[in-house]
Amino acid sequence: MDIKKIKENIVFWVIKSAAFLNLLALTIFLFFLVKNGISAISWKFLVLPPRDMMTKGGIMPCIVGTLVLSLGSIIVSLPLGVGAAIYLCEYAKQGKMLRIIRLGINNLAGVPSIVFGLFGLAFFATYLHFKVSILTGILTLGLLSLPVIIGTSEEAIRSVPDTYKEASIALGATKWQTIYKIILPSAIPGIMTGVILSISRVAGETAAIMYTAAVFYSPHLPTSIFQPVMALPYHIYVLATAGTNIDKTRPLQYGTALVLVGLIFLMNFIAIMIRSKKQAKN
Amino acid sequence: MEHKKKIQVKDLDFFYGENQVLYNINLDIPEKKVTALIGPSGCGKSTFLRCLNRMNDLIPGIKVRGKIILDGQDIYDTGVDVVKLRSKVGMVFQKPNPFPKSIFENVAYGFRIKGIKDKDFIDERVKTSLRMAGLWEEVHDRLSSSALGLSGGQQQRLCIARAVAVEPEVLLMDEPASALDPIATKKIEELIYELKKEFTIVIVTHNMQQAARVADYTAFFLMGKLIEFDKTENIFTSPRKKETEDYITGRFG
Ligand SMILES: Nc1ncnc2c1ncn2[C@@H]1O[C@H](COP(=O)(O)OP(=O)(O)OP(=O)(O)O)[C@@H](O)[C@H]1O
Ligand SMILES: [Mg+2]
């Protein structure tokens, strides 16, 4: 065997073991979570609110809260983000201003979520009087996921071949018709990737909601978006750090974590289904 | 020229930024004839062609001087509706570029963007256009499957069907057969022969035989200048300029 072949083999094995290690880490993590949390999971756990100072009962309000917050934030950030991406790709003049906007977006992506939380508290909750509520949480989380949505949408829009655009324009389509009928449909799978990434991030977000949307405990579901909610990640945080009986509620903590991970998987799965359905249509 | 002039190009200069690529072009394109543009690579054939439907407008920093008169109206006048212009002057590109949609939707696209809803009308026009492009027999039983599943030659004929569906008056073709094999090329050439009954056709080609086969008139470009423009037979049998003769006999280019 010559030296080139040996080198290639070594690289192959390094890469393969890296992939394997990743898989192993994920498996151990999931196993740990399931082993500790599965005992808490039951039908009642999923559909009942907590009781007895949150040492018993279920986590239904938290599940609903997390669903509402993550879907709501996507409803805010998707049109804004895709709109911004269309502007940046198709309308903005290349130049200094555009570079500054891009820099801003990239920096926004790097801002810690607690800072978004503080901003949401100061601006939406206090200044706009939205208080600590679902609305404030959705807007804060929407802002937080905006850079990801813009970034992936931009990439998706740019990867649509120019030849499609030319064909459409040459047939007498306006720019907007070309964007709406040709570019966006081709970009949807890429945009959905951004949505998947955002949902995962937002659903698990704790720091950004603890001052803006989440409550410690609420026996009832909110009836409007001007009320706060319970949420899974914040509930875990509360049980694990400030609960009335931290050790006694360990299984509940793991159970909640397991539900959160399951919920994120489920939402990702749905988004992936939508994406591949769109791809198959193309 | 004994034919009716469809397009008159007058003193056309074209710049990409500071870089001038067309110099003082004067040319009359006859109605319902095939006009071929030939010349070595980089001489400005595509640029000239894309002036005729203002596709160059998409490129930032271009400058156009002179006039291009289509049916008595300068298409570079302020106030000209470029969207209307482009539905009057259709275009087929070098590489087949069907949309990632069904065969039917590709051809119907021109009607969709015009907001035409009449389903029977669209069905009928799609069918006629596919017939005109010589594709109907091959695709009539799979109109709803993706256009990307067609062969290269079929895709190019689909693009021609898509362009003729909206009933343009002029059809611009930029090396429409250069990405195709000889059999598919022959089909396209036969098609051009049919299409010129209804459309004024301007075609860019690198293939001298192709120009000789399909074109009634031929324009020879060299380094951004129009060297000679005449009936195709004159260009190929008795060119008046030495550069033309050198080019068509293959002495350079
Ligand atoms: N988008 C552009 N920006 C700047 N310069 C360009 C652009 N497109 C073409 N050019 C330049 O303009 C000149 C003419 O190009 P054009 O594409 O019209 O030539 P062509 O005759 O079609 O060549 P070919 O036979 O290779 O297709 C070339 O020098 C080319 O480099
Ligand atoms: Mg060219």
pLDDT tens profile A263-278: 999 988 888 888 887 7
- How many beta-carbon contacts under 8 Å exist across A and B? 64
Classify residue A61: in a domain, yes or no.
Answer: yes
Q: How much is the pLDDT for B253? A: 47
Report the gap between the CA of B113 and the closest CA in chain A (Å).
6
Task: Give the span between the Cα atoms of B126 and B61, in whole angstroms.
Answer: 38
Taking the Cβ of residue A280 and every Cβ of chain B, the question of whether any pair is shorter than 8 Å is answered with no
Q: Which residues of chain B have pLDDT under 50?
A: 253
**ipTM score over 0.95, yes or no:** no
Dump pLDDT digits (tens) for A161-172. Answer: 999 999 999 999
Q: What is the CATH number of the domain that holds A50?
A: 1.10.3720.10
pLDDT at res. A280: 65
How far apart are the CA of A109 and the centre of ligand 1, in A? 40
Could you report how far apart the first and last alpha carbons of chain A are, in Å?
A: 46
Give yes or no for residue B47 CB within 6 A of ligand 1. yes
Domains of chain B are 5-248 (3.40.50.300)
Instruction: Decide the pairing of beta strands B5-16 and A56-57.
Output: unpaired
CB proximity A176 to B under 8 Å: no
Ligand 1 nearest atom to the CA of residue B17, by list position = 4
Ligand 1 pocket residue status of B42, Cβ below 6 Å: yes
Q: What share of chain B is helix, strand, coil (3-state, %, to 5)?
A: 40, 25, 35
Indicate the residue of B97, B113, B162 with minimum beta-carbon distance to A166.
Answer: B97
Q: Is A14 a domain residue?
A: no
Place of tokens 């015009």: B114
Distance B45 CA to ligand 2 centre (A): 6
Nearest to A181 among B58, B90, B113 (CB): B113
H helices, E strands: number in chain B: 10, 10
SS3 label, residue B230: strand
Q: Per the domain annotation, does A122 fall within a domain?
A: yes
Q: Are A156 and A189 in contact (CB under 8 A)?
A: yes
Least confident of A149-153, A189-193, B102-106: A189-193
Q: What is the pLDDT of residue B83?
A: 92
Residue B72 CA from chain centroid, whole number: 20
Mean of per-residue pLDDT scores for chain A: 90
Indicate the pTM of the whole model: 0.84
- Total domains present in chain A: 1
Domain that holds residue A137: 41-281
Model pLDDT, residue A2: 83
Residue A190 lies in a domain: yes
State which of A91-100, A178-187, A247-256, B177-186 shows the largest mean pLDDT: A178-187
User: For residue A281, what pLDDT band results from cuts at 50, 70 and 90?
Assistant: low
pLDDT tens-digit readout, A57-112: 888 899 999 999 999 999 999 999 999 999 999 888 888 888 999 899 989 989 99
pLDDT score at B252 = 57
- Measured from the Cα of B224, ligand 1's closest atom is 14
Average pLDDT for A122-129: 94
